[in-house]
Amino acid sequence: MHACMEASLRIIWALLIFMLQGVHGEDVNVQEIKKNQKRGCDVFQGRWVYDSSYPLYNSFNCPFLEQAFDCQKNGRPDLSYLKYRWQPSSCNLPRFGGRNFLKKLRGKRIMFVGDSLSLNQWQSLTCMLHAYVPEAKYAFSRTADLSTFTFPAFNVSIILHRSAFLVDVVKKTYGRILELNSISSGSLWKGMDVLVFNTWHWWTHRGSQQVWDFVQDGKGTYKDMNRFVAFEKGLTTWAKWVGSNIDPKTTSVFFQGVSPTHTDSREWGDLRGKDCRAQTRPLLQSSYPGGANPAEAIVEKVLSGMSKPVQLLNITTLSALRKDGHVGGFGYGGPKATDCSHWCLPGVPDTWNLLLYAFLVQN
Ligand SMILES: *[C@@H]1O[C@H](CO)[C@@H](O)[C@H](O)[C@H]1NC(C)=O
Ligand SMILES: *[C@@H]1O[C@H](CO)[C@@H](O)[C@H](O)[C@H]1NC(C)=O
């Protein structure tokens, strides 16, 4: 059993290395990668198991943790949501090594690009690294859309670029335009060693949460558009940007899959129609009874048509099983503002980073 597991792990890592290095250069597409993963181990297929050694860190080990994610500090009374580890069905994830991470990425820059779910993951990673290597000095700087966290002794930067749509939103005299074919902030993304992109949630926003007045697609300007269609067009623009600006030999590109929300308990078989508040236990099965998010299929379609290798961090199902992991009523706004989108830290995004770590560090 043990030898067999080791052998299969070796195969998996060989595949991961193959994927990250893009041995076949531009011909390696997502379909092939998926096939390889199936033959080896799909780290995204598995279940949550109770692990008394969890969480990986405590919020008091992370002095820079934003209050919005610090559920314990905000009074969340239950603790068991902290105690679950993601267990892939046919292999184990490597144990997180903060020092190992910093050593392997010495002199490198990692950038998360996306909405506040990227912020969630970026905060998780910086907390994990600081908690594991507390003596390493860190520095933090922030400009309008860019937050940079560095470990000077390792010359490692972990950067967050807030960009809710990846494509541009431009202010004109007649209103704010969501430009589906344009990415001007791509200049900030060039030269990174690792890029982790994400976008979805903002595409659905309406009313006061909608931050644009018109959508522009090619020569047409529209008052609105089917949001899935718009999402696919925007994501395709991003895919083209990656195609013409990324050298897979020097930059590893990841796409953080759709992060699920939990606003209706009927999805997981509780007919009372409750939201994520008062959820204290994950679903312990391996598939989500609420089915797939339609945005996932779009992500899959766009990624599979790309000319450059992009690794999907397929976090959707594993996160969907964590109805207990959201901020709920214990975010910045307190009990008045329910947040069933973002995740408590420590918590689910730590696992997203364990998966990222698995892909990066074994390279
Ligand atoms: C993501 O993972 C889930 C669970 O393993 C799986 O059902 C789904 O097909 C995966 N999606 C992709 C695009 O690989
Ligand atoms: C730190 O890393 C950057 C790239 O991220 C590199 O340009 C620079 O030379 C490195 N500095 C030192 C002191 O190694």
Concerning whether 342 is annotated as a catalytic residue, the answer is yes
Q: What is the pTM of this model?
A: 0.89
**What pLDDT score was predicted for residue 325?**
98
Nearest-ligand number for the alpha carbon of 154: 2
Ligand whose nearest atom lies closest to the CA of 37: 1
- Ligand 2 and 287: CB distance under 6 A: no
Cβ count near 354 (within 10 Å): 19
Question: What number does the ligand 2 atom closest to the CA of 108 have?
Answer: 5
Question: Is-contact 242 306, C-beta < 8 A?
Answer: yes
8 Å CB contact between 357 and 94: yes
Q: pLDDT at position 363, please?
A: 64
d(CA 210, CA 218): 21
Q: What is the mean pLDDT of residues 33-51?
A: 77
Q: How far apart are CA 311 and CA 255, in angstroms?
A: 6
- In the chain, the domains with their CATH numbers are 2-361 (3.40.50.1110)
> Rounded CA gap, 67 and 73, in Å?
8
Cα–Cα distance, 84 to 291 (Å, whole number): 22
The more confidently predicted of residues 250 and 4 is: 250
Contacts of 173 (CB under 8 A, 6+ apart): none
Q: What is the pLDDT of residues 96-119, one digit of tens each?
A: 999 999 999 999 999 999 999 999
DSSP state of 12: H
More confident residue, 32 or 52: 52
Give exposure, 155-188, as e/b (b: 16+ Cβ within 10 Å).
ebbbbbbbbbbbbbbeeeeeeebbbbebbebbee
Atom 3 (ligand 2): residue with closest C-alpha? 107
